[in-house]
Amino acid sequence: MSYCRYHPNIHARFYCPNCHYLACSECVDEVDSYGPNQARCFHCKEQMDFLGGAGGIEPFWRRFGQAFRYPLHSNALWVLGISTAITLLGWVIPLLGLLATAFLYKYCFSCLERTAHGQLQAPQVVTATSGGLVLLLQIVGILSLAVGSVVVLAAQLSPALGIIWAIFVTLALPAAFMILAMNQDFGQAVDPRKHLELIGAMGPGYFILWLLLLIMSSSVGALQILIGEHFLLFGYTASVLVSSYYAIVMFHLMGYAIFQYQDKLGFSAQEQTGEFKKRGDKQRLKAKAGMLLKDGEYEQAANLYHDYLQKQPRDSEINELLFNLLVATSSADALGKFAEQYFNYLFVSEQLFKVSSNYRRLLQLLPNYTPSSHRLRSQLAEQLYQLGDFKGAARLLKNYHQNCSNRAQVIEAYQLMLQCLNQIPKTEALRQQYQNYIDKLVAAMQSEP
């Protein structure tokens, strides 16, 4: 089995012949300009090879426990309850028994078909409400031809040949159902050559599947023997429930076997083709950046985040990813350039609870950092003051008037500075200087016409 280079626990579905690496669906590019369902390499932009869907699928014999939990989904439980109830009513109205059988087996075939396409949850109840009688006639046709051919061979040719043919028919019965589900063709479902092709393609796996199905189908009879003829209604109800439960499990297993061996059977599961849903710009960005980060290309990943934020400056997740990346990689220069944009974003988006902690993280790399924007300096200082960091707030407001020409804003900033200094011991002289400067600005503003 091959695994994705960037997700070692996920099976690879694509290979880049140019960059020589394996990738899962998450790690390929699929923008609309590449054409429908074209997976391209994020690195070299060349089209990637699809590896096929079955290589990384867990074998059905390892999923036996999950198979028995499959009918416990709410949809399947509703089907079990409805089919059992209708079957019990069939004691009174025989036609209802036929309807219950058609309903159940239509649902079982829906389970088989969906599982064959990689959809591992039980289908909705509505899938069993149409076409059930036609399907039941096909199943009866398969069984009738099987039994009839055995009887004819034994009577017309020899009993020994009839026994051999009966063994083959019994062995090929799951193959007939699987072919009917894959091809929707009754003729192929009763063709012995198609049976042999399927059995040969699956190899030993088919015989393991057949043995499991045989054990489950035999257990219903064993249950009836254990219950005996006592508690007739209870025994009949239990028998119907168990047989219906095992029917869903068996058809689910047959579907999963198709899913597992799809490459050898010439079958293409919808969930395992090279087709995938188109992702948005942000999803592709995160996928590509994740690959770059795992390759140690931190600067390239940061550049991708930067480019995206030029278009979507208020994207909370990407802002956080970029800030955390720059801090984690100690990218002081890049962090200094991004910090002002980041903290402006925090204030605009009113995420004030992040300001103080992230500002302290910034100062660990850039201890002398001061925003160029006087407005941001005031906002940061106010936030630090509210949190009791008076020295930090005072440092931000130092020499505030040098890059701010608005006297009203300078007065407001230095009033905050005075409040900070009042909380810092041995700053009386400095407080007086700032008070004098404030008084000077106020007097100048009052003297203006």
pLDDT at 233: 63
pLDDT at 280: 81
pLDDT above 60 for 353: yes
- The band of 321, judged by pLDDT with boundaries at 50, 70 and 90, is very high
Residue whose pair of structure tokens reads 């597992």 in the numeric block:
260
106-123 pLDDT, tens digit each: 888 888 888 887 788 888
The span from the CA of 303 to the CA of 325, in Å, is: 11
- The band of 366, judged by pLDDT with boundaries at 50, 70 and 90, is very high
pLDDT above 90 for 291: yes
pLDDT above 90 for 299: yes
pLDDT above 80 for 127: no
Confidence (pTM): 0.55
Q: Is the dihedral of CA 412, 417, 420, 426 positive or negative?
A: negative
Contact 174, 214 (CB under 8 A): no
pLDDT at 227: 56
Write down the mean pLDDT value for the chain: 83
pLDDT above 50 for 33: no
pLDDT above 80 for 221: no
- The band of 273, judged by pLDDT with boundaries at 50, 70 and 90, is very low
pLDDT at 112: 86
pLDDT at 242: 81
Contact 162, 153 (CB under 8 A): yes
45-75 pLDDT, tens digit each: 888 887 765 555 677 777 778 888 888 888 8
pLDDT at 53: 54
- Residue 77's CB is within 10 A of a number of other CB atoms, namely 15
68-108 pLDDT, tens digit each: 888 888 888 888 888 888 887 766 777 777 777 778 878 88
pLDDT above 50 for 284: yes
Report the percentage of the chain scoring pLDDT > 70: 88
pLDDT at 225: 62
pLDDT at 34: 46
- The band of 298, judged by pLDDT with boundaries at 50, 70 and 90, is very high
Report the percentage of the chain scoring pLDDT > 90: 18
Higher pLDDT, 379 or 137: 379
pLDDT at 276: 54
Higher pLDDT, 241 or 32: 241
